[in-house]
Amino acid sequence: MSFNMYVPTKVLFGVGQLNNLHEQKMPGKKAMIVISNGKSTREFGYLARTEEQLKLAGVDTVVFDKVEANPLRSTVMAGGAFAKEMTVISLLH
């Protein structure tokens, strides 16, 4: 087996970094936010804050919230199908 892979990734890490998300150059105008099927991302406001930051950057969002702990292949495939259906350009996890 052989392959080439190019995965351009930028990580924002640290206190308050979510507040700077809107300043980042985005690769497109539609992003899929990938979160777990738990409640904490919504409950603690991180999803709403992320959506707001992307809105400030002019990026529309869709949410895939079906990721369980130790995700199954079927979950990954469902996420890929959802991204394709929603014609997203970038992913946020």
**What pTM, to 2 d.p., does this model score?**
0.85
Share of the chain above pLDDT 70, in %: 100
Considering the domain boundaries, does residue 63 fall inside one? yes
Task: Write the pLDDT tens digit of every residue in 4-19.
Answer: 888 888 888 999 999 9
What's the domain count of the chain? 1
Give dist(CA 31, CA 89) in Å, integer: 6
Give dist(CA 13, CA 5) in Å, integer: 24
Considering the domain boundaries, does residue 35 fall inside one? yes
SS3 assignment, position 87: coil
pLDDT of residue 78: 97
Considering the domain boundaries, does residue 75 fall inside one? yes
CATH number at residue 74: 3.40.50.1970
CA torsion sign for 58, 47, 12, 3 is negative
Considering the domain boundaries, does residue 30 fall inside one? yes
Q: In the predicted model, is pLDDT for residue 93 greater than 80?
A: no
Considering the domain boundaries, does residue 10 fall inside one? no
Domain residues for the domain of 82 are: 20-92
H-state helical runs in the chain: 40-43, 46-56, 73-85
Task: Write the pLDDT tens digit of every residue in 20-59.
Answer: 999 999 888 999 999 999 899 999 999 999 999 999 999 9
